[in-house]
Amino acid sequence: MSMSRHEVRKVAFQTLFALNSNPDANPTDVYEALLGEETAAPAYLIQLVDGVRSKQTEIDELISAHLKKGWPISRLNKTDLILMRLAVYEMKFVDDLPAKVALNEALELSKEFSDETSRRFINGVLSNLL
């Protein structure tokens, strides 16, 4: 089964959320739980999850630099933070993807996993980062 990049991002978000909640979990087990045992994790999914995890400190610094003064990253809603981490990773580390596409995908995912207030917040932070 072939997945669209949007579907891959959705599973990447769900995987990162699960791993954030349970840092000891094995990403492969999470992929299997989300995709089914018969479906191999697409290479782009693995790239996104591994990339966000390996660059998380750098990504969080970029996000923090665009938050209001005195607003620590620890105060952010976990859903919004993970959506922004995914978008920032794509903006900064995926060469064949325009940054605006990463921003738009984050906003699309926020429609599914968050609310209107969060979507405006994510748009503000990521637009400033652009």
* Residue-range domains of the chain with CATH: 5-129 (1.10.940.10)
**Each residue's pLDDT tens digit, 80-112:** 999 999 999 999 999 999 999 999 999 999 999
Say what the pLDDT of residue 37 is. Answer: 84
Give ∠ CA 15-18-22 in degrees, rounded to 5: 135
Alpha carbons 9 and 15: distance in angstroms, whole number: 10
Mean pLDDT of the chain: 94
pLDDT for position 38: 86
How far is residue 30 from each of residues 7, 33, 34, 49, 116, measured CA to CA in Å?
15, 5, 6, 11, 28
Q: In this model, does residue 32 exceed pLDDT 80?
A: yes
pLDDT of 41: 93
Mean pLDDT of 5-14: 96
Query: Binning pLDDT at 50, 70 and 90, where does residue 130 land?
Result: confident
Reported as a pLDDT band with limits 50, 70 and 90, residue 75 is: very high
pLDDT at position 1 is 56
List b or e across 114-123, with b for residues whose CB sees 16 or more CB atoms inside 10 angstroms. Answer: beeebbebbe
pLDDT of residue 71: 87
The first and second tokens of residue 22, run together, are 């349970």
Q: How far apart are CA 41 and CA 13, in angstroms?
A: 14
pTM for the complete prediction?
Answer: 0.94
Using CB atoms within 10 A of its CB, is residue 57 exposed (0-12), middle (13-18) or buried (19+)? Answer: exposed
